[in-house]
């Protein structure tokens, strides 16, 4: 029996990194204002760490658009696997050529292209889709803020977020 409503539990879980950063910040602040000395110096380190955790946490909150969508996403040993009700597939993270967001579907879809494989479409709210944040962040040259703004911006057409090798002439801008 749970004393926390599911909506409140989801909100706390969604903001978990930011809440952890707040807890670390408060510990650092208490060490600075309390005994001082070596703990005071470590308190300043904890405050710096908490600020970095908060920034990363806010990015992750913006990436989490919900749960309970169609299908399940798993990431294991460099492979993204999606099992959906109608389709699915596997993409090697090192082989991703293009990452796009298709907001025209309901729910919006991440579109992953890999050479020699069919295009993989993953709903943004699929179970386990929050783990894609780490995979996408590790793509060389990906602009995280651009990805998050497109995800939450309500665009009306598919948008290419990242490409390994541009498929367009170099004088044509991506963004």
Say what angle helices 16-33 and 37-63 make with each other, to 10 degrees: 160
Whole-angstrom distance, CA of residue 113 vs CA of residue 16: 31
The pLDDT value given to residue 67 = 72
Whole-angstrom distance, CA of residue 10 vs CA of residue 5: 9
The pLDDT value given to residue 43 = 92
Q: What is the mean pLDDT of each run of 10 residues along the chain (175 residues)?
A: 78 86 95 84 94 92 79 91 89 92 88 91 90 90 87 83 74 57
Query: Greatest CA separation found in the chain?
Result: 62
Whole-angstrom distance, CA of residue 74 vs CA of residue 93: 12
Instruction: Look up tokens 């004393």; give the residue.
Output: 3
Angle CA(144)–CA(65)–CA(135) in degrees, nearest 5? 40
The pLDDT value given to residue 112 = 93
């Amino acid at each position: 029996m749970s004393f926390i409503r599911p909506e409140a539990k989801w909100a706390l879980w969604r903001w978990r990194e930011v809440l952890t950063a707040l807890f670390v910040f408060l510990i650092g602040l208490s060490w600075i204002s309390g005994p001082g000395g070596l703990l005071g110096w470590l308190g300043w380190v904890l405050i710096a760490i908490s600020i970095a955790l908060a920034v990363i946490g806010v990015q992750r909150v913006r990436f989490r658009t919900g749960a309970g969508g169609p299908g399940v996403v798993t990431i294991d040993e460099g492979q993204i696997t999606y099992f959906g009700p109608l389709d699915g597939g596997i993409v090697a993270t090192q082989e991703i050529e293009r990452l796009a967001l298709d907001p025209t579907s309901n729910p919006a879809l991440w579109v992953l292209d890999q050479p020699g494989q069919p295009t993989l479409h993953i709903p943004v709210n699929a179970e386990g889709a929050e783990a894609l944040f780490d995979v996408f962040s590790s793509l060389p040259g990906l602009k995280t803020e651009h990805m998050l703004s497109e995800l939450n911006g309500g665009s009306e057409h598919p948008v290419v977020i990242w490409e390994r090798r541009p498929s367009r002439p170099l004088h044509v801008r991506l963004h």
